[in-house]
Amino acid sequence: MHGSFASIVPFIVIIPVALLTKQVILGLALGLFVGCYIEHPRPLAGLEAAIAYIGREVGLSGNVSLILFLYLFGSFVGLLRVSGGVKGFSRWMEARIRSPRGAFLFTWLSSLFTFMAPDFRILTVAPIVSRVFERFRIRKEQVAFTIDVTATPLCAVVPIGTAFVAYMVGLMHTSAHHAGAVSPYALFLATIPYNFFAWAMLLMGAFLTFFRFSAQVRTATRTTGAMPDRAEARSLLLAHERRGAFALEAGAIGFPQDAAVQRGMRRREESGEEVPDPVEALAKRAHPSAMNLILPLALLLASTLAFTVISGYAPGRTLAQAFVQANASQAMLEALVLTVVAMALLYAVRGTPLNRIMVGFLQGGNEMMPVIVLLALIWAVSAVASDLGFAQFCQREIVQYVPRSFIIPALFVFGCLISYVLGSSFGTWAILMPLAFSLAQGGAGSLAIAAGAVFASGTFGGFVSPLSDNTVAMATVMKVPVMDYANYKLKTALIPVAACAIGYFLLGEIAR
């Protein structure tokens, strides 16, 4: 049975179930049980094997550290929200935007402070620039695109301090473990240049923002006359605030889910009863303070860099070598623990009630539970697939008969289709990463290229899919129809997708 057709049956179950139900967690759970019962075809043996796989994979030291990091990262963002840090940063920056060019520039520069997760960036920045840009004749879709293009594509290539990094390194850890590779973080760093779609969208976004959109602003200004002066602009902003334009300003972080659910918006059950988000409710009442965001973020970034270099330091190594050889997961966890403790002390000293701090910590951490469950199932499914001989089957049946230069481009295009239907970057990566590593082991390309293609395909879906929580959040904030905005992004992204597929094909030809 090892290396036979049975080894791919779990994925034959996972992909259709995930696509039909839009629930990746459900698909992975069913795939896990199917794989375990194929391996142990007895009534209780399969169930016991599934539980054992989950317990064994979750119990690995590196995986435990990753789970702690993800939970604490959610707590970190929860504390930022309930302390008024997000609200204060929004108002502080809004007061300093005085021209369309400044708004465009701010939209890009603000990524330095809001790169931790796409929805966190969207719901922090969008309310500010939307009120600035609406004074000029710029389409809402273009404003939203300018923000969105520096959300998911940017988060997918930032190497430190984000939930994306932790999740990606976690995928590298389990896949590298079963493939016999080493240093998951070094492998993740090697994939960054091969996330072609993220880089292509960042380049296209920069071109559109600073050439096409800016040119339209200048044309509109010449047509309609002078721009509003500062006093008039301020009165417009105050009018919007009185009408409740700051309703979303406190924001809420959204993590890639199995369905398009916007975090921070009030959820409705089937009964129609509103279920408020406690963190959002506290964030709206918090006194705005930009320092409550800037100081913790600066500490997190500085300590992450410091601990990363320290963990990889050895006599004779350069700074770059130390960074690559570092135990990045442990360094990020240590930095996050230090930052969360410092945040709690800072907020308490500045007068934030202790019960509010605890709500932000616990509820923020709980926001990450779907991602943690997703990872636990990915680890278990990867282990089952490895034991069933999934890698050997892929090497024998795919790599042997399909031209190698076509395998990675086909994997990328297939991943783009899956991610568009799912609307989940994390879900797509979870489904395809074991396949990518198996193909790479068979000679389809290097591990870094194969994993980079999978990351690129998931980035595509997280960016353009109408089911992506990022698309839903942006359309809601900007008050544009979700499908219209998703189609606008899709049309813009098709050229980069084609270019990426050609790029992966050329890589395959060069490697032959």
CA-CA distances (angstroms) from residue 33 to 13, 27, 394? 10, 10, 21
CA-CA distances (angstroms) from residue 502 to 62, 393, 407, 433, 509? 36, 27, 12, 21, 10
Give percent of the chain with pLDDT exceeding 90. 21
Over the chain, what is the mean pLDDT? 79
Given pLDDT bands bounded at 50, 70 and 90, which one contains residue 255? very low
**E strand spans, 145-270:** 267-268
Which segment of 267-281, 349-363, 376-390 scores lowest on mean pLDDT? 267-281
User: How many whole angstroms separate alpha carbon 117 and alpha carbon 155?
Assistant: 6
Given pLDDT bands bounded at 50, 70 and 90, which one contains residue 345? very high
**pLDDT of the residue at 273:** 46
**pLDDT of the residue at 136:** 62
Q: Indicate whether 236 pLDDT > 50.
A: no
**pLDDT of the residue at 233:** 43
Give percent of the chain with pLDDT exceeding 70. 81
The first and second tokens of residue 279, run together, are: 């963190």
Which segment of 36-45, 153-162, 185-194, 275-284 scores lowest on mean pLDDT? 275-284
Scanning the structure block, which residue is given the tokens 């289709």? 417
CB 297 within 8 A of CB 305: no
Q: Indicate whether 366 pLDDT > 60.
A: yes
Which segment of 161-165, 179-183, 465-469 scores lowest on mean pLDDT? 179-183
The first and second tokens of residue 116, run together, are: 């931790």
pLDDT digits (tens, 9 = 90+) for 87-96: 787 777 766 7
Which segment of 8-12, 90-94, 181-185, 287-291 scores lowest on mean pLDDT? 181-185
Given pLDDT bands bounded at 50, 70 and 90, which one contains residue 222? low
Q: Indicate whether 459 pLDDT > 70.
A: yes
The first and second tokens of residue 334, run together, are: 């240590």
- Which residues share a beta bridge with 274? 268
398 against 229, higher pLDDT? 398
- Which residues share a beta bridge with 275? 267
**pLDDT of the residue at 358:** 93
**pLDDT of the residue at 244:** 36
The first and second tokens of residue 171, run together, are: 């995928």
pTM (2 d.p.): 0.76
Residue in 374, 346, 263 with CA at minimum distance from that of residue 84: 346
DSSP line for 234-303 = HHHHHHHHHTTTTTTTT-------SS---TTSPEE-TT--EE--HHHHHHHHSPP-THHHHHHHHHHHHH
Q: Indicate whether 340 pLDDT > 60.
A: yes
pLDDT digits (tens, 9 = 90+) for 205-214: 888 887 776 5
Where are the alpha helices (H) located in 313-446, listed in sequence order?
319-324, 328-349, 354-366, 369-388, 390-394, 404-422, 425-441
pLDDT digits (tens, 9 = 90+) for 135-146: 666 778 888 888
User: How many whole angstroms separate alpha carbon 460 and alpha carbon 418?
Assistant: 10
**pLDDT of the residue at 260:** 35
Given pLDDT bands bounded at 50, 70 and 90, which one contains residue 426? confident
Instruction: Name the CA dihedral angle for 486, 490, 492, 493, rounded to a multiple of 10 degrees.
Output: 130
**pLDDT of the residue at 512:** 63
pLDDT digits (tens, 9 = 90+) for 272-324: 444 567 777 787 788 888 888 889 988 988 898 888 888 888 888 887 777 77
**pLDDT of the residue at 271:** 41
**pLDDT of the residue at 153:** 92
The first and second tokens of residue 121, run together, are: 């960036």
Highest mean pLDDT among 51-65, 135-149, 241-255, 260-274: 51-65
**pLDDT of the residue at 227:** 47
257-282 mean pLDDT: 49
218 against 97, higher pLDDT? 97
63-71 mean pLDDT: 86
Q: Indicate whether 409 pLDDT > 90.
A: yes
